[in-house]
């Protein structure tokens, strides 16, 4: 069946079309530039932008795939978590499309969709696998017996998400919002061992993360240098911060695999686009005998294809469609794969 996926949890209006695990279209309209001058996403601005971009983005997805609306067999939409107003626009649109076409509607979890999307690139997920979800609002290790049915949290950040730490440190370093991609780029000119920044919860024996101490340490370090009138070599600071993050992430991901006797790791979410994380994960997983899968960067950050991918799995698993009155739930827990 052909599944249309709609994503509006944050500032990306994403529309994807898939057949099984084959990607047919993936179109995005982003309001990120409108938020950049505020240094963060402004919810009202995002909602308005979704409203304006929704229909044209669906049109572009249909064009890209050479399909017509009447070809679509099911609609999937992000029901949460995310910005309440932004989610509402996507959910309302999805209901309208599903009702208008007379096809089933599936409300899906944005975080589970970040996991499911990898199947569009690397085929069906091994059952079970360990998934590390690292994004702007979440950082979690998950045991995934079957992404369409069950996701079990093993650990998560106790404070900031990994992407949030990237964005906050970027701001300290005078880099534009969102900072993750800028740190990634600038860090290539620097040394990851220039400054020994703290690695929160490195040896605490849990599968939890903590990034707020690291963020503060970077801010203090920069502040101290500036006060002393000493130069701050931004590439070195960016690379050393990034190294601290990816060192902890890869270490804990492998610990999760070991503790649960699972030898397949999937990394998803916006931070999975990070080039150093991808390289270190490859290296450490290879040494540990763990197979690692990471979607291409364009599928790591928010998009509609990820929603369509999870919707497609729900259809294949014979899961009952959602009711047409599904709510948008800004704090939908990861354990609720679909509503
Ligand atoms: P969530 O999925 O938790 O609701 P979100 O949808 O806002 O949050 P994503 O779009 O999945 O988050 O990811 C965005 C985050 O990924 C931002 O914090 C951004 O800085 C970060 N990010 C994107 N590319 C990179 C990169 N190359 N290196 C590091 N971080 C990155
Ligand atoms: Mg975004
Ligand atoms: Fe996301």
Which tens digits make up the pLDDT trace of 49-95?
A: 999 999 999 999 999 999 999 999 999 999 999 999 999 999 999 99
**Pairwise pLDDT comparison (37 vs 93), residue with the higher score:** 93
Which tens digits make up the pLDDT trace of 259-299?
A: 999 999 999 999 999 999 999 999 999 999 999 999 999 99
- Three-state secondary structure of the chain: CEEEEEECCCCEEEEEEEECCEEEEEEEEECHHHHHCCCCCCHHHHHHHHHHHHHHHHHHHHHHHCCCHHHCCEEEEEEECCCHHHHHHHHHHHHHHHHHHCCCEEEEEHHHHHHHCCHHHHCCCCCCEEEEEECCCCEEEEEEEECCCEEEEEEEECCCCHHHHHHHHHHHCCCCCCCHHHHHHHHCCCCCCCCCCCCCCCCCCCCCECCHHHHHHHHHHHHHHHHCCCCCCHHHHHHHHHHHHHHHHHHHHHHHHHHCCCCEEEEECHHHHCHHHHHHHHHHHHHHCCEEECCCHHHHCCCCHHHHHHHHHHHHCCCCCCCCCCCCCCCCCCCCCEC
The confidence score (pLDDT) of residue 38 equals 86
Which tens digits make up the pLDDT trace of 217-252?
A: 999 999 999 999 999 999 999 999 999 999 999 999
Verify whether ligand 1 is closer than 6 Å to residue 271 (CB atom): yes
The confidence score (pLDDT) of residue 81 equals 98
50 labelled binding-site residue:
no
The confidence score (pLDDT) of residue 40 equals 85
Which tens digits make up the pLDDT trace of 176-196?
A: 999 999 999 999 999 999 999
Mean pLDDT computed over every residue of the chain: 97
Answer yes or no: is pLDDT of 37 > 90. no
Instruction: Return the ligand 1 atom nearest residue 163 CA.
Output: 18
Q: Tell me the CA–centroid distance for residue 224 and ligand 3, in Å.
A: 34
The confidence score (pLDDT) of residue 206 equals 98
Which tens digits make up the pLDDT trace of 114-133?
A: 999 999 999 999 999 999 99
Percent of all residues in the chain with a pLDDT value above 90, rounded to a whole number:
95
Give me the phi and psi of 87, to 5 degrees please. -60, -40
Confidence of residue 33 (pLDDT cuts 50, 70, 90): confident
Average pLDDT value for residue range 20-44: 91
* Closest residue to atom 9 of ligand 1, CA basis: 270
Confidence of residue 35 (pLDDT cuts 50, 70, 90): confident
Verify whether ligand 1 is closer than 6 Å to residue 211 (CB atom): no
| pTM for this model (two decimals) | 0.97
Percent of all residues in the chain with a pLDDT value above 70, rounded to a whole number:
100
Write down the residue that tokens 């763990």 correspond to: 290
133 labelled binding-site residue:
yes
Could you tell me the two tokens for 303? 């998009």
Answer yes or no: is pLDDT of 32 > 90. no
What ipTM was estimated for this complex? 0.98
């Amino acid at each position: 069946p052909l599944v249309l996926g709609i994503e509006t949890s944050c500032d990306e209006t994403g529309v994807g079309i898939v057949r099984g695990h084959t990607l047919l279209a993936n179109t995005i309209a982003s309001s990120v530039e409108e938020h950049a001058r505020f240094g963060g996403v402004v919810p009202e601005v995002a909602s308005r932008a979704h409203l304006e971009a929704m229909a044209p983005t669906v049109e572009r997805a249909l064009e890209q795939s050479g399909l017509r609306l009447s070809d679509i067999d099911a609609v999937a939409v992000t029901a949460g978590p995310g910005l309440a107003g932004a989610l509402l626009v996507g959910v309302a649109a999805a209901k309208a499309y599903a009702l208008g076409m007379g096809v089933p509607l599936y409300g899906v979890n944005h975080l589970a969709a970040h996991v499911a999307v990898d199947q569009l690139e690397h085929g069906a997920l091994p059952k079970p696998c360990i998934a590390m979800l690292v994004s702007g609002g979440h950082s979690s290790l998950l045991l995934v017996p079957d992404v369409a049915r069950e996701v079990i949290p093993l650990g998560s950040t106790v404070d900031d998400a990994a992407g949030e730490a990237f964005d906050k440190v970027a701001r300290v370093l005078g880099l534009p919002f969102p900072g993750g991609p800028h740190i990634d780029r600038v860090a290539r000119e620097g040394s990851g061992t220039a400054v020994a920044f703290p690695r929160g919860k490195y040896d605490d024996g849990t599968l939890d993360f903590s990034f707020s101490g690291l963020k503060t340490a970077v801010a203090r370090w920069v502040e101290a240098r500036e006060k002393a009138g000493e130069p701050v070599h931004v590439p070195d600071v960016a690379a050393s911060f990034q190294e601290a993050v990816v060192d902890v992430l890869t270490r804990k991901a492998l610990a999760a695999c070991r503790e649960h006797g699972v030898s397949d790791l999937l990394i998803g979410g916006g931070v999975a686009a990070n080039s150093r994380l991808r390289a270190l994960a490859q290296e450490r997983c290879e040494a540990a005998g763990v197979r690692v899968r990471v979607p291409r960067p364009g599928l790591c950050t928010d998009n509609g294809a990820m929603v369509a991918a999870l919707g497609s799995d729900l259809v294949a698993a014979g899961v009952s469609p959602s009711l047409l009155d599904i709510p948008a739930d800004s704090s939908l827990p990861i354990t609720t794969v679909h509503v």
